[in-house]
Amino acid sequence: MREIVLDTETTGLDPSDGHRLVEIGGIELYNCIPTGQVFHRYIDPQRDIPESAYEVHGLSREFLAGKPLFEHIAEEFLAFVGDAKLVIHNAEFDMSFLNSELQRAGRPAIGTDRAVDTLTLARRRHPGLPNSLDALCARYGIDNSRRTKHGALLDAEILAEVYAELNGGRQAALLLAAGDIRVERPEIIVVRQRLQPLEPRVTPDEMSSHARFVELLGKNALWLSYIHGAPQQSADWRKTA
């Protein structure tokens, strides 16, 4: 299942008061595994940045001047999210800004039924406890030391780890594997080899008995194709036969 972990930064708290998006960050997941595909854009809000907002994300009017308008990245954004579910912490906030910008750009709104709100998931799992993104990182032992300021892409990366925990833990999502898992298309299955092969459970006597049994099956036996695909193992078996 394809999902997009999404976060935004804005000039304020309510788009109905004229506040706008200034940054969008998204990470593609396939079956809860990050694929390496991301979407990240800064946006010119065409308005001032209140000091209270600047203190949160550190994006100044000077920095954002000349960045693309949302209407210029709308098509690219919609193509990236496609019909995937959107995993968002406090989804109502981000969805209201996204749909306000889409409306300005003459694009259809994204249905709220497509949003997976991790704040709601966390409240169900940890009722009565703090469930901010920072609180969840502390609870699950997720390193968020880089988060000195809010940033859409960084917060999306952290939220992807939190989402994995809310779905049963990082091991279930294969996030404990060394290195990043990167796929270009969802249909690709990533296979990792063990650094240290497991010790064989089959004894030499059992391998010898099996080799003698396979020889009785004749030259067209399917087992011979398998053995020939593993020449070292085949040689070992024949030495013990």
Q: Residue 202: what pLDDT?
A: 80
Give mean pLDDT, residues 102-115.
96
Q: What is the pTM of this model?
A: 0.69
Evaluate whether 29 touches 3 at the Cβ level (below 8 Å). Answer: yes
Spatial separation of the C-alpha atoms in residues 49 and 167, rounded to whole Å: 36
Torsion (CA) 203, 206, 208, 209 in degrees, nearest 10: 170
Indicate the DSSP class of residue 107: -
Structure tokens at 178: 């060394």
pLDDT at 84 over 60: yes
- Give the burial string for 95-119 (b: 16+ CB within 10 Å, else e): bbbbbbbbeebebeebeeebbbbbb
Give mean pLDDT, residues 44-65.
95
Q: Residue 52: what pLDDT?
A: 94
pLDDT bucket at 197, cuts 50 / 70 / 90 = low
Q: Residue 187: what pLDDT?
A: 43
Structure tokens at 94: 């981000």
Give mean pLDDT, residues 125-131.
95
pLDDT at 194 over 60: no
Give mean pLDDT, residues 62-67.
96
126 catalytic? Reply is no
Evaluate whether 114 touches 34 at the Cβ level (below 8 Å). Answer: no
Given the residues 89, 150, 210, 228, the one annotated as active site: 150
Nearest CA to 90 among 59, 138, 122, 125?
Answer: 122
In the predicted model, what is the mean pLDDT of the chain?
84
pLDDT at 182 over 50: no
Q: Residue 7: what pLDDT?
A: 96
pLDDT bucket at 169, cuts 50 / 70 / 90 = low
Q: Residue 200: what pLDDT?
A: 74
User: What pLDDT digit, counting tens, does each position of 85-102 carry?
Assistant: 999 999 999 999 999 999
Nearest CA to 166 among 135, 121, 204, 109?
Answer: 121
Q: Residue 42: what pLDDT?
A: 97
Evaluate whether 9 touches 137 at the Cβ level (below 8 Å). Answer: no
Q: Facing residues of 30 across strands? A: 2, 33
User: What pLDDT digit, counting tens, does each position of 10-53 carry?
Assistant: 999 999 999 999 999 999 999 889 999 999 999 999 999 999 99
pLDDT at 181 over 50: no
